[in-house]
Amino acid sequence: MLSFLTLAAGLLLQPAAAVAGQATPPPSQPAPLCAVAVEADYARTPENPARVGGSPLYGAARQRRYLESLRGPQGQPVTFKRLPGVDSPDGETIIDRYDVTYEGLEKAETLFLDWYHYTDLRAPRGFVCGQAFNLGLPPPDPFMAADQLQRLALADAAAPDFAPTPIELGGGAAGVAFDHYRLVARAAHAARQAGAPFVAGEVPEAVSRPHSVIVAFPRACEGGARTAGAIVLEDPRGRQMPAESLHTRAEEIARLVPGLQAPTGSVVGLFQLDGPRAGLTVKVTYPDACSGTTEERSLELTSSGAKLLESPMPTRPAGDAGIGAWVAVQAIVDHTGRFREATALGGPPELAQAAVEVLARWRAEPPRVNGAPLASPVVLRLTFERAP
């Protein structure tokens, strides 16, 4: 009995290949670094491009990352050359083209990439990946966001009842700031009141171009008040952006910020930014301050990001084989925390409308600067759950 037990233990301790009648298992293969498209036309036609996202601002870098990740079928590094783009099938955007080749390929392949939309990325059939794409959700498209914010402001022009961003310098109220959205809403409200409402796409350039203003109140002193002489914004590196222009006349202030009731002696600084941002410091200089000398007062802007409060996810019909599909959406979180002006960026076209509709039921704590809510663009990924 002892010899049998010893023999059995010896068999169990031997490698599997030593057991008679068993074949040696193949060595484990490393997991692929990216998925490879099944369909032959993926990234090879304008109708089915690789949708990398990123917009004209970030799209070129994302396209380069995608192409640099590709390899030939034997792992050969690829080289690529950009070609003139072509119209997208809907005629709304441009699809970029690249000639891509690798050692051993007789003729360069033409690949089509789209930076206006985003979906899960794959390597075209016949290619593999030498590194992961690492291209998650793209940042908001600033050009699309500008249009979305303008439409939102026009829609809210009937009652632009939200307060401006407060600016406190030295512990006291020293001014206010108006972001682009607030300024467009106020201007549109004034136009409505005058009987000449703005029409989308025809908003005057002075109103529609991204801008913000900072209003510096006069410095109260015993026996009078002192008017600001300069307003600048300073970034964390100490780089300063002076106001593009300063305005003190009542009619100029009324034109820039319709409906503003600013104290006499206020100064309005115009900046080519869409709004105040965290990390910036507002600096106001009073050349003839209460002490009789030049005085500079500063405040670093503080912020808090949006926080989801309600986010019901969309569902697909029972038995649908596409459970787990997702749609990328760009929207605006408005100053009340609603998600508005949603636009699908990518995903199954048949699910786009459902994603936009469910997003209208989402709620968030809006982002804030100095405690004031701001309307801000976001990009979200909505994953469809199984129907109950």
* CATH code where residue 284 lies: 2.60.40
Q: Does 18 map to a domain?
A: no
Q: Identify whether residues 368 and 314 lie together within a single domain.
A: yes
Res 380: pLDDT: 94
Res 247: pLDDT: 93
Q: Identify whether residues 166 and 232 lie together within a single domain.
A: yes
Do the strands 109-114 and 50-51 form a parallel or antiparallel pair, or are they unpaired?
A: parallel
Higher pLDDT, 319 or 236: 236
- In the chain, the number of structural domains is 3
Confidence of residue 6 (pLDDT cuts 50, 70, 90): very low
Res 25: pLDDT: 56
Res 288: pLDDT: 77
Domain that holds residue 98: 50-138
Q: Identify whether residues 106 and 162 lie together within a single domain.
A: no
* Nearest one of 117, 115, 160 to 329, comparing CA atoms: 117
- What CATH code is carried by the domain that includes residue 355? 3.30.2420.10
Q: Which of 273, 301, 329 is the last residue of a domain?
A: 301
Res 75: pLDDT: 94
β-pair partners for 364: 308
Res 83: pLDDT: 97
The pLDDT of residue 21 is above 80: no
What are the tokens at 382?
A: 């909505």
Q: Identify whether residues 329 and 283 lie together within a single domain.
A: no
CA angle 8, 14, 15 (to 5 degrees): 140
* DSSP code string of 217-272: PPEEETTEEE---EEEEE-TTS-EEE-SEEE-SHHHHHHHSTT--PPTT-EEEEES
Confidence of residue 172 (pLDDT cuts 50, 70, 90): low
Residue 63, burial from CB neighbour count under 10 angstroms (0-12, 13-18, 19+):
buried
6-34 residues labelled b (16+ CB within 10 A) or e (exposed): eeeeeeeeeeeeeeeeeeeeeeeeeeeeb
Please compute the mean of the pLDDT values over residues 256-266 and round it to a whole number.
89
Q: Identify whether residues 235 and 344 lie together within a single domain.
A: no
The tens digit of pLDDT for each residue in 177-205 reads 999 999 999 999 999 999 999 988 889 99
Question: How many angstroms from the chain centroid is the CA of residue 254?
Answer: 32
Q: Does 255 map to a domain?
A: yes
The pLDDT of residue 248 is above 70: yes
Q: Identify whether residues 208 and 236 lie together within a single domain.
A: yes
Q: Which amino acid is residue 228, in one-letter code?
A: A
Residue 181, burial from CB neighbour count under 10 angstroms (0-12, 13-18, 19+):
buried
The tens digit of pLDDT for each residue in 25-48 reads 555 556 778 999 999 999 999 999
Q: What's the predicted TM-score (pTM) here?
A: 0.82
Instruction: Please give the helix or strand (H or E) that residue 173 lies within, else none.
Output: strand 172-178
The pLDDT of residue 120 is above 80: yes
The tens digit of pLDDT for each residue in 81-118 reads 999 999 999 999 999 999 999 999 999 999 999 999 99
CA dist 98 to 69, 82, 91, 375, Å? Answer: 14, 4, 20, 37
Q: Identify whether residues 172 and 269 lie together within a single domain.
A: yes
For the chain, the average pLDDT equals 86
Confidence of residue 24 (pLDDT cuts 50, 70, 90): low
The tens digit of pLDDT for each residue in 290-320 reads 777 888 888 888 899 889 999 998 877 665 6
Higher pLDDT, 332 or 24: 332
Do the strands 128-129 and 70-71 form a parallel or antiparallel pair, or are they unpaired?
A: antiparallel
Q: Identify whether residues 316 and 216 lie together within a single domain.
A: no
Res 311: pLDDT: 92
Residues 261, 257: Cα–Cα separation, whole Å:
9
For the chain, the straight-line distance linking the first and the last C-alpha, in angstroms and rounded, comes to: 60
Please compute the mean of the pLDDT values over residues 350-356 and round it to a whole number.
89
Please compute the mean of the pLDDT values over residues 319-346 and round it to a whole number.
86
Residues 326, 71: Cα–Cα separation, whole Å:
27
Q: Does 26 map to a domain?
A: no
Higher pLDDT, 253 or 2: 253
Q: In what order do the strands lie in the sheet with 165-169?
A: 165-169, 172-178, 212-216, 267-271, 245-247
Q: What percent of the chain has pLDDT over 90?
A: 60
The pLDDT of residue 261 is above 90: no
C-alpha gyration radius of the chain? 30
Res 289: pLDDT: 73
Res 9: pLDDT: 32
Res 322: pLDDT: 56
Q: Which amino acid is residue 209, in one-letter code?
A: R
Q: Does 216 map to a domain?
A: yes
Instruction: Please report how many Cα atoms fall inside a 13 Å half-sphere around the Cα of residue 17, on the Cβ side.
Output: 4
Q: Three-state SS for 102?
A: strand
Q: What percent of the chain has pLDDT over 70?
A: 88
Q: Which of 260, 286, 301 is the last residue of a domain?
A: 301
Instruction: Please give the helix or strand (H or E) that residue 212 lies within, else none.
Output: strand 212-216
* Range of lowest pLDDT (45-49, 146-150, 160-164, 337-341): 160-164
Please compute the mean of the pLDDT values over residues 215-241 and round it to a whole number.
88
